[in-house]
Structure 1
Amino acid sequence: MWKFKPFTHKEPAGLEGRSIDVGSVKILVQKAIAEGGFSCVYLARDAVHMSKQYALKHIICNDEESLALVKKEISVMKSLVGHPNVVTLHAHTIFDMGRTKEAFLVMEFCEKSLVTVLESRGAAYFDEKQILLIFRDVCNAVFSMHCQSPPIAHRDLKAENLLLGSDGLWKLCDFGSTTTNHKCFDKPEEMGIEEDNIRKYTTPAYRAPEMWDLFLREVINEKVDIWALGCLLFRICYFKSAFDGESKLQVLNGNYRIPDSPKYSSSMIDLIRDMLQARPDDRPDITQARALLDWPFMSSI
């Protein structure tokens, strides 16, 4: 889980104040703005054009697995460059430090996450149009991933991974959890490896039933993102998780309740219910989900 607070982990030498060449971009590192595991995100400025701000992601790779994850994250971001609802990757490089490798990703800087926005609203719920404007942006980003060949599943769609850009659009970030390995896992050794991957790269509150229990023998594919979108839409509407306590049994049994307030249209409720179908085949794909967003007032936007 990313923590958006000053980076407190004691490093031999922090990056603050340093000048770093990342690809064709020379940046000045200012301050840490988020931390997570073996990585940290910094606010940085362009050393030539000082008015330009960036987010610099610094990742320490201690083994081949972590290095492969970084390379995958870079590859996915490069394949999505130019999409208005995906955080832009401006430059990247990987330095060989001997025993470890250090990756630097220079990305578009976004000041707020969806979590920040939700928490700052107090009890002031969004109206339906506001919700759909946010959700449309998210679905557009997911659509771009699922339309790749093979489809790319994000696997960690959540409010923390949605950032508000300076252009007013919502942007999807953090592509280290992505996969194109879509299959049914039925061999014990494969199941053990996949269960470990699911624990490491997905978030319980947004985790689909087929990821909680591989013995369901369901194909695990990009439909896990549709479930996560249902959880995300529920949170945007009601400011809480659909499955309180992040319980496996709650998810497997589809044990959630639509709150009595605030009141939303039947179309909104149906969209949540369609995406939170326990069986992947019963959920809409991203094309169908986007079509379900076609409320009358959305056509004028």
Structure 2
Amino acid sequence: MGHALCACARGSLSIEGQRYLLLQRLGEGGFSYVDLVERLQDGRFYALKRILCHDKEDRREALHEVEMHGLFEHPNILRLEAHCMVEKGPKHEAWLLLPFLRRGTLWSEVEALRDKGTFLPEERIVPILLGICRGLEAIHAKGYAHRDLKPTNVLLDDEEQPVLMDLGSMNQACIEVKGSREAMALQDWAAQRCTISYRAPELFTVERDCVIDERTDIWSLGCVLYCMMFGEGPYDLIFQKGDSVALAVQNQLHVPASGRYSAALEHLLSSMMAVNPQDRPHISYILDQLEGLQAAPSGQDTTRI
């Protein structure tokens, strides 16, 4: 049974033959919103993501997100419980029924600590980052990349295990770009689908003959780690001030010496933030480093980079 929540029903709906009560709005973006719903059969709570579809292309993209969910059954990737496409006059809505994790996002955790003037300790960062990496490893193993990894797209369950969500920007891991037209098309796509302050440098100005691979996720992973260590992403403030993120990411990131974290973790962060994607490690290497950090006695430096 679901845990008791203080919420008033705002109507009901049906998905794949099951009835659900609409309880409250959890969040919304430019083209979707998420509601808390309760299944009448057993009182369990779910998050219902509703994607607004104005045309066939929107419907295709929503079904792509459904398809991506269907590829995985992994503890660190949010599972899809049910889905349907609903007609709303001339438009459609794609309904995706997802597990409800009451702790919310990794960003909520970081923000709450930052507001208290404190930060995540390394002994919490490492297992969270390990879980994120295991989810990414499963995605990369299928030949895909997430492309929009950020703290608001990582949920935490009751045991503080991270769960990757929002798979709508996922596409093939290795993209071979041939010519200026393909380069501009990929650049435009990235501008729409990859959050600017977590977007890899090679997606800001796509070269006319190049290969973009899954290491765009490694850059974003580095930004997530930086956020956990310092309370905000490395380029969040630049974006908020209206300065050029595209210009800022072309320079090697300086990792502040905080004294809170081991040299090994700081070096790992620096390796993820290499401007040249060919200099960034693959996810298997990062997992190996993190497992070494987790196994090391507290306070012992395990630098192997």
Q: Which residue of 60, 65, 76 maps to 2:68?
A: 76
Q: Which residue of 193, 214, 222 maps to 1:230?
A: 222
Q: Is the 8 A contact 1:161 1:174 kept in 2?
A: yes
SS in 2 for 1:289: helix
Asked if residue 110 in structure 1 is aligned to residue 107 in structure 2, the reply is no
The aligned counterpart of 2:164 is 172
SS in 2 for 1:101: strand
Q: Which runs of structure 2 are paired with 1:32-181 in the superposition (5 Å)? A: 32-50=25-43, 52-81=44-73, 83-97=74-88, 99-111=90-102, 112-121=104-113, 122-148=116-142, 151-180=143-172
Asked if residue 31 in structure 1 is aligned to residue 24 in structure 2, the reply is yes
Alpha carbons of 1:173 and 1:249: their partners in 2 closer, same or farther (altered >3 Å)?
same
Which AA in structure 2 matches 1:278? V
Query: Quick one: distance in 2 between partners of 1:172 and 1:58?
Result: 18
Runs of 4+ deviating beyond 6 Å: none
Q: Is the 8 A contact 1:32 1:41 kept in 2?
A: yes
Alpha carbons of 1:216 and 1:125: their partners in 2 closer, same or farther (altered >3 Å)?
farther
Q: Which runs of structure 2 are paired with 1:190-205 in the superposition (5 Å)? A: 190-205=182-197
Q: What displacement does 1:92 show?
A: 0.6
Asked if residue 252 in structure 1 is aligned to residue 212 in structure 2, the reply is no
SS in 1 for 2:166: coil
Q: Is the 8 A contact 1:234 1:241 kept in 2?
A: yes
Q: What displacement does 1:25 show?
A: 3.1
Q: Is the 8 A contact 1:238 1:262 kept in 2?
A: no
Compute the TM-score of the two structures, normalised by the length of structure 2.
Answer: 0.86
Q: Which residue of 292, 295, 298 maps to 1:295?
A: 292
Q: 22-31 vs 185-194, which deviates more?
A: 185-194
Which AA in structure 1 matches 2:117? A
Q: Is the 8 A contact 2:157 2:163 kept in 1?
A: yes
How many residue pairs get matched?
280
Q: Is the 8 A contact 1:85 1:170 kept in 2?
A: yes
Alpha carbons of 1:161 and 1:104: their partners in 2 closer, same or farther (altered >3 Å)?
same
Query: Quick one: distance in 1 between partners of 2:30 and 2:248?
Result: 29
Q: What displacement does 1:71 show?
A: 0.8
Q: Is the 8 A contact 1:73 1:176 kept in 2?
A: yes
Asked if residue 283 in structure 1 is aligned to residue 280 in structure 2, the reply is yes
Which AA in structure 2 matches 1:253? N
Q: Which residue of 211, 233, 239 maps to 1:241?
A: 233
Query: Quick one: distance in 2 between partners of 1:266 and 1:156?
Result: 28
Alpha carbons of 1:208 and 1:64: their partners in 2 closer, same or farther (altered >3 Å)?
same
List alignment gaps of at least 5 residues for structure 1. 1-15
Percent of aligned pairs sharing the same letter: 29
